[in-house]
Amino acid sequence: MRLLLALMMSVCTVGQALNAQTPQGPLVTTAWVAERLQDPTLVLLHVGPAPAYATAHLPGARLVTAQMISVTGKGANGSELNLQMPDAEALHAALQTLGISDTSEIVVYAATPQVMTTATRVMLTLQYAGLGDRARLMQGGMNGWSADGYTTTDVVPEVIPGQLSPLTVVPLVVDGDAVEGLRKSAGVRVVDARASALYSGEQTGGGRDTPHKTGHIEGAVSVPFNTTYDPQGKFKSVEELQALFTAAGVQPGDTVVAYCHIGQQATATIFAARLAGFDVKLYDGSFEDWSRRPNAAVTNPAIRK
């Protein structure tokens, strides 16, 4: 009996150790990353400006920018769309250039909270590429890493191109035609991830010469990207995020289809929705595309009847 009890306690101890080493979702702590810095399968992706990367980054991290893993595309009326998902072949080549292989464990981190949405765009791109189960975001980014007492370096590592099998992309990205149908579908909630002043029509977004329409996609609810994480770049708890989406009108079991200006800020809201347990999709053309679609339905709450 004592032997059986000892064996059971041993199994429980091993199980607890494994659980401590295995992340339960797409977020990992700085300690989890620090324990794996010498792991040859680890691919650390630093998200931030190149000049700052050259002076400080996590040991072994290589630089990634949104431009490395995106393209421009065509939207409504032939207009140019920024920050579009590449085709599978181009994305495959870009990921191999970053040193990603079939055996890689990938950790993405933001150099500062100001580039959080670029980091979540990278995360969504990895998920789209079919690598979501091997891609993690480091909670708190490089600021959190330094605050926890870990060191950075200015040594830029040599990156050996990876050996990655052809991608099997996950259908996470939708266009305006799909959104037109989805926004009227049961079990789908279109979510505006822009600042609340843009959703409400108090402000109008867009480029210098190409203003967007004022307001939001008809039927969309508002979950601003910057309400999903704190000023230090740490995502809120699962319970807090679930409450945030519930308050916006997103129901358990809904699929969240998020958009923003050009498809970057929305990825933070999408990442939060994943943490909260929702299925997700990105309207990659976002309001940049919707604004140029003939007869696309827009609600402007700022217009008083």
Tell me the DSSP string of 255-291. EEEEE-SSSSHHHHHHHHHHHTT-EEEEESSHHHHHT
**DSSP structure string for 164-207:** -PPP---S-EE-HHHHHHHTTSTTEEEEE-S-HHHHTTSS--B-
Number of residues that make up the chain: 305
| Averaged pLDDT for residues 272-282 | 97
Out of 4-18, 61-75, 216-230, 279-293, least confident range: 4-18
Q: What is the pLDDT of residue 123?
A: 98
Among all chains, which residue has been given the structure tokens 């250039």? 97
Distance CA 214, CA 37 (A): 47
| Averaged pLDDT for residues 228-245 | 97
pLDDT, mean over the chain: 90
Beta bridge partners of 256: 189, 280
What are the pLDDT digits (tens) for 6-59? Answer: 333 333 333 333 333 455 589 999 999 999 999 999 999 999 999 999 999 999
Q: Is 190 exposed, middle or buried (CB count within 10 Å of its CB: 0-12, 13-18, 19+)?
A: buried
Q: What is the pLDDT of residue 4?
A: 35
- Proportion of the chain above pLDDT 70, given as a percent: 89
What are the pLDDT digits (tens) for 145-163? Answer: 999 999 999 999 999 999 9
Cα dihedral 265/110/28/253 (nearest 10):
0
Q: Where are the domains of the chain?
A: 2-147, 173-299
| Averaged pLDDT for residues 285-305 | 88
CATH number corresponding to 2-147: 3.40.250.10
Whole-structure pTM value = 0.90
* pLDDT over 90 (residue 208): no
**CATH 3.40.250.10 for domain 173-299:** yes
Out of 21-35, 166-180, 193-207, least confident range: 21-35
Pick the residue with more confidence: 277 or 7?
277
The reply to whether 173-299 shares the fold of 2-147 is: yes
